[in-house]
Amino acid sequence: MKNAIAERIHDFLKKFHPFKSIDDENLFTIAQSISVLYLEKNDYLFKVNDETHDFFYVVASGAIGLSITSDSDDVLIDKCDEGDILGLRPFFAKDNYLMNAKAREESIIYAIPIAVFKPIVIKNASVLEFLLQSFASNTRNPLDKKNKGKLLSENVIYDDTSNEIQYYQPIHYTKNPVTASTLDIVRQVAQTMTSKKIGSIIIHENKLPVGILTDKDLRSKIATGLHPIDITIDKIMSSPVITVAENISVVEAQMMMLKHNVAHLCVTKDGTNLSEIKGIISEHDIVVAQANNPGVLLRQTRRAQNTNDLKSIREKVTDLIQNSIDKDIPIYHICSIVGEINIAITKRAIEQAIEKLGTPPPTRFAWLNVGSQGRKEQLLLTDQDNALVFEDVSEAQYDEVKNYFIALADIVTKKLNTIGYEFCPANMMASNPLWCKSVSEWQNQFYSWIHHPGEKGILMCTIFFDYDFVYGDENLMHEITNTILKETHDNQLFYAYLGANALENPAPLGFFRQFLVENDGEHKDTFDIKSRALLPLVDAARILILSVGIRNINNTALRFAKLAEIEPQNAVIYKSCEEAFLELLKFRTEEGLEHNSDGRYLNLKELTKLDKVKLKNDFQPINDIQEVIKNRFKLTYFT
C-alpha cells in the first residue's frame, strides 16, 4: 500500500538542494522517516543553548526566524522560508545551538532524523559536500551565488566569503604527536595520556600508524570492565587509523571525519598508512579553525583554566570586532555578541576566583556589570565598572559574609585587570566595600539617591541605573529593580534632577554649525565623541525608559527601539536617536581600533568630508530628544 504522505514529502524535497541529488529510493526512505511538526506563530523550534536535537529541519511552509537574545529581546538575524534547511549543527558539531529558531507565522516543518539521513549522505559525495559547504561557508545554499541565505543558526555573523576562504585553507594540526607501540600496556599509556593532558594517542608499528587509542576507548572498553587494564594496546585500540596528507584543508578534514565517523585523523608524510607519522587532527582543531566565530570563543571561555586563557580570548575579541566592522556587520549585532563574550569572561573569572578561595559563597549573591558594560556598549577595552549584591543575613553573620565577598571581588577585579579591563579610576568596583552590599543596603542606597538627588546622587544614578546581571542569583537583582521602579514612579523631583542632568550636553555644534572641540589640554582641537555626542543620547534613553517603568532593557539603542514601540507619537524621534547612537558608537569604535585607544577623542582632520556630514546629521536627534525631555518633565526653567 502506498504511503501518500511520504510521497508528497518526497516530491517536495526533490525540488530543493541537496535532496535533488539523492536517488528516489533513498529519498523515499528519508521521506518515510520524517516527522511533520506544526508550529503556531511564536512557537520555538529550538533556543540558544538548547541541547542539539536528533533531527535537522526543512521548512515546508511558513517562515522561521533566526535570532539572538539580547537584553531579554529576540533580535532577528535572518529568516528561513520554504525549502530552507536549518538546525544543521548536530550534524557537524557536538555543542548546543547558537541561535533561536522561532515561527514568524504558522509553519509546517519537516524533521529529518540524522540517524536515517547520515548513512545515505556519506555515500553521496555531492550531498555531503553541499552540506559541509553550507555549514562551513555559513550559507543555506552555496550553489546559489545570487541568493545564498545565511545559516546563522550554525555560524554566527560571518559572511560567506571569509568563511569559504577559511575553510579551504590548510588546517593547523598537532605536530610530533605522542605515540605508543602496539605492545605497550594500557595502564602505562593511560598514565601517559593523563600526564600529557591529551585525549588520544597514535599507535604505531615500526613508526607506521596502525591504530589510535582515545579517551572513548578507555571509557567503553576498560572502565566498563570489558577488558583488564594490564593488557596490551593492540587489544583495545581502534584500527585502522584514518590517515591524511599534511596539506589537508579544514573542510576536507571535516568531510573525512564525517565519512569515516571518527573524531581523529592521523597526518602522515604522503597521506597513507605506509609513511611516517607527522601529526594528528582532532575535532578540536576544526573548532579552533573557526577561532573568530563567537560561538567558539564562548566555548573556549567556558573551558578556560586560568587568567591567561581568558586574556587570550579577550585579545581575539578585538580581531572579531575589527573583522565584523570591515565586513559591515551592523554595530548593534557586534555589541550584542561582544557583550555576551564579556559576560562569559567575567563569569569564568568569578568561577576561578571561587575555586581559588577554596570555599563556596556563604550565601546567595549576584555580580552586576554597571555603566557601559551594563548597557553592553563596551566594545573597546576601557575600565571596569561592577557591583556585588548578596542576600540579607543576620547581624552576627554580616561581617564574615561581606568579607568573603570583598575577598572574592578583589580576586575577580584583579583578574579582569590582567585580562585587559583596567581598574576603574573612581574605584567603582565590587572590591570596594561601598559597592559590595546586601540587598537591603542596596535598596536603601537607591532610595537615598532617588529621594535626595543632589549632584552626587544623580551622578551615581547615571552609572548604577545601567546594570546587567552576570553571575549568581538573578532574583537579587530583581529585588533592587523593584525598589527602583517603585521609588521613581511619578517622582517629579527626581525626574527634574535627572532630566536637568540629561540636558547638560546639548548638540555639539556652534552657531555656524562648526564642531565644538576641546579648547586646551592633551586633547586640544579634538572632538570628544563620548561626552558631547554619545552621553546625551545615553542619558536621554535612561530617563525616558525609567519614566515609563520598563525593566530589564539597558542597552541605549534597545531603549529607544522600545520607546518607539510604546510611544508611536514620538517614534520618528526615537528611531532617529537609535540610528544616530549606533552610528556614533561605530565612529568611536573605529577610532579606537585604528589608534589602539578608547576612541573617545576624534581627530577631525583625519575624517573625510562625508564622515563629517554623517557626524553632524547624528547631532540633530540630540536636539529633538532633549526637547522631548524638556516638555515631558517641564524642565524649561532648568535650562
**In the predicted structure, residue 146 carries a pLDDT above the cut 70:** no
Query: Does 136 fall in a domain?
Result: no
Query: Does 153 fall in a domain?
Result: no
- Residues 429, 305, single domain; the answer is yes
Most confident of 215-224, 313-322, 517-526, 628-637: 215-224
d(CA 307, CA 348): 9
Task: Supply the pLDDT for residue 1.
Answer: 46
Q: Considering just the CA atoms, what is the radius of gyration of the chain in Å?
A: 29
Q: Which residues contact 196 (CB under 8 A, 6 or more apart)?
A: 178
- Residues 258, 355, single domain; the answer is no
- Residues 567, 633, single domain; the answer is yes
Task: Supply the pLDDT for residue 162.
Answer: 39
Domain final residue pick, 414, 438, 462: 438
Average pLDDT over residues 174-180: 90
Cβ-contact 396, 329 below 8 angstroms:
no
Average pLDDT over residues 499-510: 85
Average pLDDT over residues 321-348: 83
Q: How many CA atoms lie within 13 A of 489 on its CB side?
A: 9
Grid cell of 516 as nine digits: 565644538
Most confident of 50-64, 70-84, 156-170, 448-462: 50-64
Domain final residue pick, 273, 288, 303: 288
Average pLDDT over residues 540-562: 92
With cut-offs at 50, 70 and 90, classify the pLDDT of residue 481. very high
- Residues 191, 246, single domain; the answer is yes
With cut-offs at 50, 70 and 90, classify the pLDDT of residue 73. low
Number of separate domains in the chain: 4
- Residues 610, 586, single domain; the answer is yes
Task: Supply the pLDDT for residue 76.
Answer: 64
d(CA 81, CA 98): 19
Task: Please name the amino acid found at residue 297.
Answer: L
Grid cell of 415 as nine digits: 583578574
Grid cell of 619 as nine digits: 547631532
Task: Supply the pLDDT for residue 512.
Answer: 56
d(CA 114, CA 334): 33
Q: Are strands 100-103 and 44-46 parallel, antiparallel or unpaired?
A: antiparallel
For 312-335, the DSSP string reads HHHHHHHHHHHHHHHTT--HHHHH
- Residues 400, 502, single domain; the answer is no
Query: Does 283 fall in a domain?
Result: yes
- Mean pLDDT value across the chain: 84
- Residues 106, 195, single domain; the answer is no
Q: Which domain holds residue 564?
A: 498-638
Average pLDDT over residues 192-219: 91
Query: Does 482 fall in a domain?
Result: no
Which residues sit opposite 268 in a β-bridge? 277
Does this model's pTM top 0.85? My answer is no
Query: Does 135 fall in a domain?
Result: no
CATH number of the domain within which 254 lies: 3.10.580.10
Query: Does 477 fall in a domain?
Result: no
- Residues 273, 310, single domain; the answer is no
Query: Does 157 fall in a domain?
Result: no
- Residues 299, 432, single domain; the answer is yes
CATH number of the domain within which 34 lies: 2.60.120.10
Which helix (H) or strand (E) segment is 457 a member of?
helix 455-464
Of 63-72, 130-139, 431-440, 620-629, where does mean pLDDT reach its minimum? 130-139
- Residues 260, 325, single domain; the answer is no
Task: Supply the pLDDT for residue 75.
Answer: 59
Domain final residue pick, 261, 288, 315: 288
% residues pLDDT > 70 (the chain):
87
Buried b (16+ CB within 10 A) or exposed e, 534-569: bbbbbbbbbbbbbbeeeeebbbbbbbbbbbbeeeee
Task: Supply the pLDDT for residue 269.
Answer: 86
Of 293-297, 333-337, 353-357, where does mean pLDDT reach its minimum? 293-297
- Residues 298, 433, single domain; the answer is yes
- Residues 259, 315, single domain; the answer is no
Task: Please name the amino acid found at residue 153.
Answer: S
Task: Supply the pLDDT for residue 67.
Answer: 77
Query: Does 472 fall in a domain?
Result: no
